[in-house]
């Protein structure tokens, strides 16, 4: 048994002795220590690459349509100038926060992450 488990077991017994927990609570805690941790199940099949899909349209014309492996986006995000992430002009300009998008994806966000419409420009970022 691992040393940390022995320490946790002793802590539980000490709390029982001091009357801070009941015998039933101690039993449940000790049983929980015996259970092996269940492995986390991947949300998608292992080995299946995720892509960062960016599409920019002006009117009916597609100006940008790229599919980038998500790992490459993470590696190169710091190289993208902030000005390149602005959509629109003047007071209605919106900046895409690439770091926030990457954090959201790492936390499990999937599907359409960003959709911006500005007059005749449309930007869409999808992760799948």
pLDDT, one tens digit per residue, over 52-94 is 898 989 888 888 888 888 888 888 877 878 777 777 777 677 7
Does the pLDDT at position 39 exceed 70?
no
Choose between 38 and 108: higher pLDDT: 108
Query: DSSP label at 79?
Result: G
Q: How confident is the model at residue 45 (pLDDT cuts 50, 70, 90)?
A: low
Note whether 26 and 16 are within 8 A (CB): yes
- Rounded Cα distance, 80 and 86, in Å: 11
pTM, whole model, 2 decimals?
0.53
Q: What is the pLDDT of residue 80?
A: 79
Beta strands in the chain (DSSP E): 51-58, 61-69, 86-87, 94-95, 111-118, 121-127
């Amino acid at each position: 048994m691992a040393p940390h488990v022995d320490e946790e077991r002793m802590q539980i017994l000490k709390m029982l002795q001091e009357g801070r927990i009941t015998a039933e609570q101690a039993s449940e805690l000790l049983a929980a220590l015996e259970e092996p941790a269940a492995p986390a199940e991947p949300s998608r099949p292992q080995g299946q690459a995720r892509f960062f899909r960016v599409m920019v349209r002006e009117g009916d014309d597609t100006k940008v349509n790229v599919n980038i492996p998500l790992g490459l986006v993470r590696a190169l995000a710091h190289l993208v100038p902030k000005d390149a992430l602005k959509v629109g002009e003047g007071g209605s300009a919106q900046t895409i926060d690439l770091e926030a998008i990457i954090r959201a994806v790492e936390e499990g966000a999937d599907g359409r992450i960003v959709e911006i419409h500005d007059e005749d420009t449309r930007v869409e970022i999808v992760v799948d």
